[in-house]
């Protein structure tokens, strides 16, 4: 039987704002399936975003939803989680939102290892504001503010998350739609900070400028660059040039922030 997305969508809120061919819709469907896999209670789940095209997601889904300011999702979400640790907290947002303006909050949420799941929709560009480059835009690529080619080096979000202390880090792409739900579900089940990077596409502001003739071309690129971690271990550095690893990239059990704070409370109360 076909999956029933309606159960999780808010009645009357579609159509969404996303352009035809935008990868954000694929990522949203993956997130919904992941929530279903985990059997999360809608009343006990908060979805928090920043600002950007990706960050419009919370408006469409039927949970406790919080659309914050540009870059601040992780910081708002930290407040929600700390105040009510029994809630499932999921952050969503774009690469610009999460790693440029929100970079500081992102790394510190990772460092605390607070129990939330952060899904970054990495389309390598600022979609909503019309295609300026983001920290994830490939060097040399065209954006509305890098018409001569992007001179900036690029963030590897997953490596950044691992370096900052996240205890579950995974990556997939909008092409690998059936992997999105599995990885997000694993992230949700993980106790601690889980980061799932979903490489997706912005045909409107990135594809056009960078000579992708169609959405299919962009999807094809996602398919071509992805290499599952297991396969990568058998490949040479040369073969891995220009590829990105997908699957679970890192997993570790470590004390979680809210649990650590529960011990502070116990100590303060004389336990």
Ligand X SMILES: Cc1ncc(C[n+]2csc(CCOP(=O)(O)OP(=O)(O)O)c2C)c(N)n1
Interacting residues with other proteins (CB under 8 A): 10, 13, 42-44, 46, 48, 51, 58-59, 62-69, 72, 75-84, 86-87, 104-105, 108, 261, 264-265, 267-269
Residue showing the smallest CB distance to ligand X in the complex? 94
Of 137, 205, 210, 246, which lies in the binding site for ligand SF4, with binding defined by CB under 6 A?
Answer: 205
Output 118 or 121, the one with its CB closest to ligand SF4.
121
Given 22, 160, 193, 199, the residue binding ligand SF4 (CB under 6 A)? 22
Binding mask 152-191 for ligand SF4 (x = CB under 6 A): ----------------------------------------
Q: Among the residues of 84-176, which ranges form H helices?
A: 95-96, 103-112, 157-164
CA dist., res. 2 & res. 58, Å (int): 23
Min CB(157)–ligand SF4 separation in Å: 16
Tracing tokens 């996602």 back to the chain, one arrives at 222
Decide: 186 and 170 in contact? Cβ < 8 Å. yes
Partner in contact with 62, chosen from ligand X, ligand SF4, other proteins, none, beta carbon below 5 to 8 Å by kind: other proteins
Q: At what angle do helices 103-112 and 73-83 cross, to 10 degrees?
A: 30
Q: What 3 state SS string does 65-105 have? A: EEECCCCCHHHHHHHHHHHCCCCEEEEEEEHHHHHHHCHHH
């Amino acid at each position: 039987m076909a999956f029933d997305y309606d159960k999780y969508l808010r009645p009357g809120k579609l159509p969404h704002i996303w352009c035809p061919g935008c990868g954000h819709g694929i990522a949203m469907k993956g997130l919904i399936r992941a929530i279903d896999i985990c059997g999360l209670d809608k009343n006990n789940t908060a979805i928090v975003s920043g600002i950007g095209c990706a960050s419009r997601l919370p408006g469409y889904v039927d949970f406790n939803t919080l659309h914050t300011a540009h870059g601040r999702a992780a910081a708002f979400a930290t407040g929600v989680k700390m105040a009510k640790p029994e809630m499932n907290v999921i952050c969503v947002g774009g690469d610009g939102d999460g790693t440029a303006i929100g970079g500081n909050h992102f790394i510190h949420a990772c460092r605390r290892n607070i129990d939330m799941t952060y899904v970054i929709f990495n389309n390598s560009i600022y979609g909503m504001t019309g295609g300026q480059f983001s920290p994830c835009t490939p060097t040399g690529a065209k954006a509305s503010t890098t018409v001569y080619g992007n001179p900036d080096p690029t963030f590897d979000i997953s490596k950044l998350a691992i370096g900052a202390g996240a205890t579950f880090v995974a990556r997939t792409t909008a092409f690998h739609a059936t992997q999105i739900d599995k990885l997000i579900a694993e992230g949700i089940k993980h106790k601690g900070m889980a980061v799932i990077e979903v490489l997706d596409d912005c045909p409107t502001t990135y594809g056009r400028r960078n000579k992708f003739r169609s959405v299919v071309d962009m999807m094809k690129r996602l398919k071509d660059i992805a290499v599952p971690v297991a396969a990568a271990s058998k490949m040479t550095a040369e073969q891995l040039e220009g590829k990105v690893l997908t699957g679970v990239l890192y997993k570790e059990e470590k004390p979680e922030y809210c649990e650590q704070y529960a011990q502070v409370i116990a100590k303060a109360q004389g336990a």
